[in-house]
Chain A
Amino acid sequence: MLKLIHSDLYRLFHRPYLFVLTGILSALAILFNVMFPTQTPIEESFQYALNYMKFLPLFAVMIAEIVMAEENKFSTLKNTISSGLGRNRVYAGKLITAFILTVFCAVITFLFYMGSAFLRMSAGKDLTPAFMGDYLLRILVVFFLFVAALFVAMVFTVAFQKKGAYVFSFIGCILILPLVFEGLGLSINVFRMLYKITIFGQAEGLYSINSTQLYQPFLVAVLHMVICGIIGIYIFRRQEIN
């Protein structure tokens, strides 16, 4: 499996896509800070940013695209499978590769975000170590929700090999379905519960919950990873590779 991860990293770092994606995310992070007046306290912009981080998991489909969907598009997976790499290992290897790329993107984007925030704005009276600790913890939870979305995206790239189909299904599952649950949840309690176990639902509530409740989005992320990991491997093991 290490060889598979190594080879995938060789391939992905040999093309501009990953760097372009990281560049776009970093530029968005800088742009976000540029939108604030310079006299805004950093902690205020941080709080505001949390509200927008609910959309970050949508970018997971872009990582899944270069790691797995491209293999379907170019029919290159047959070379890997016919070389004797077991399907479980291949799928797990792809997930780990996607995770590594996510860490790469996330760390760079985060550094640009924090760097531009501190360069542009100044600390207010609330920017205490406790505040920063809590904020970084929330960022970490967003990261886990992103990884969970990545597991969802991988399932769709395996199940629907056509690009339009898996992107639409992913957006439907990550964004539209939670919004439907949220709407129906206004009058029917069960949908409110369902909304709370979605990635989007947890990401949206991240800025309002207190720090003792942060285990909830973390658990939802782990739940998604376990369920989608099992479903993904199940589909992949039975699939004819073209």
Chain B
Amino acid sequence: MSFSLQKGDIYGLIGKNGAGKTTLLKMVSGLAVPASGEVELFGETSESGLNRARSQTGCMIESPSFFPYLSAAENLEYYRIQRGIQEKKCIQETLQLVGLANAGKKNYRSYSTGMKQRLGLAFAIMGNPDLLILDEPINGLDPLGIAEFRDIICKLNREHNTTILVSSHILGELSQIATVYGFINQGNLVEQVSAKELALKCKRRLAVKVNDMDKAAAILKEQLSCVDFEMTGDGRIYVEKYMDTPAVLNEALVKNGVQVSELTATGLSLEQYFINLVGGNQNA
């Protein structure tokens, strides 16, 4: 599987259970060793190069895990020393950012699921990494926590141009932050599409497959006064205007000698798009 992230992307990784999302993220973050092939991160493929690259990443893979007998600040201090982050104040700043500044000396073992998730995020973002890898980061968060999480992610991306690779089952949530989507199924990347392209693909429009694109375009402009349409390389014209009256469009084209071989309504939610992509409801 090969996929690439551009600096500043928020890459939403989508796939059903067992599709290989977590395994992929584990390989990128060095937790799993690939049976074949190689991992390339920031252009590095050697073991030492990958370790260097990973030192610029922040990860939260699966559920967050910390030492239960240490507090949030102590756990972060442990990893601050380990990562060689010089500034001690980054701990309080990060805890403040994720809403754990008031957790005090309370040990991790007594944290709620939401607090654990917040500490996991704090660990990942501590030291402003260039790449953030998040696996199901909003599991266990309440609606307020989800909104705060979204704000933090967007703020990091906006202010520090942090590249973010995030997998989630909550597609509605993902659709609010992702700028690029990767759909994976059975260990393969089925499709990689930008948010703009996906929005276009999911838009509710009529897709008309015709034998003569130029003639059809002329009819749309001159006879139907429709200028808001799109022509694609696969012989289809996408028209938004006649969504509720497709017969009018069909009649105008046919009467002027344009053969219409397909006329379908398109427009999907991210969830429907994903279901269609991986092979229907029985697979999803």
List residues of chain A with CB under 8 Å of any chain B CB.
Answer: 3-4, 6-7, 10-11, 14-15, 70, 74-76, 78-86, 237-238, 240-242
Contact = CB atoms under 8 A, between A and B. Distances in A.
B276 to A, nearest CB: 33
A74 B82 contact: no
B77 to A, nearest CB: 7
Interface of B: 26, 29-33, 47-48, 50-57, 59, 61-63, 65-70, 74, 77-79, 81-84, 123, 133
Contact of B31 (A7, A10, A78, A237): A78
A4 B66 contact: no
Contact of B51 (A70, A79, A84, A238): A84
A81 B84 contact: no
Given A3-B81, A7-B79, A238-B33, 19 more contacts: A4-B82, A6-B82, A7-B82, A11-B78, A14-B70, A74-B67, A74-B68, A76-B67, A78-B61, A80-B82, A81-B29, A82-B30, A82-B31, A82-B59, A82-B133, A83-B59, A84-B53, A241-B26, A241-B32
B63 to A, nearest CB: 8
Contacts, number: 86
Contact of B66 (A6, A7, A76, A86): A76
Contacts of B62: 78, 242
Contacts of A84: 30, 50-57
B81 A86 contact: no
Contacts of A81: 29-31
Contact of A10 (B53, B57, B78): B78
Contacts of A11: 67, 70, 78
A74 B31 contact: no
Contacts of B57: 82, 84
A169 B74 CA distance: 33
A82 B32 CA distance: 10
7 interchain residue pairs of minimum CB distance: A84-B54, A84-B55, A75-B65, A82-B59, A82-B29, A7-B81, A7-B82
Contact of A83 (B54, B63, B77): B54
Given A74-B68, A240-B33, A83 B83 contact: yes
A89 to B, nearest CB: 8
Determine which residue in A14, A83, A85 has the highest number of CB atoms from chain B within 10 A of its CB, and name it: A83
A80 B123 CA distance: 11
A15 B83 CA distance: 21
A7 B70 CA distance: 13
Contacts of B78: 7, 10-11
A242 B29 CA distance: 12
Nearest to A15: B69
A190 B67 CA distance: 46
B166 to A, nearest CB: 15
A79 B81 contact: no
Contacts of B81: 3, 6-7, 10
B51 to A, nearest CB: 4
A80 B81 CA distance: 11
Nearest to B47: A86
Contacts of A80: 79, 82
Determine which residue in B61, B70, B79, B81 has the highest number of CB atoms from chain A within 10 A of its CB, and name it: B81
A85 B30 CA distance: 9
Contacts of A15: 69-70
Contact of A79 (B53, B84, B123): B123
B32 A85 contact: no
Contacts of A79: 59, 65-66, 79, 123
B51 A86 contact: yes
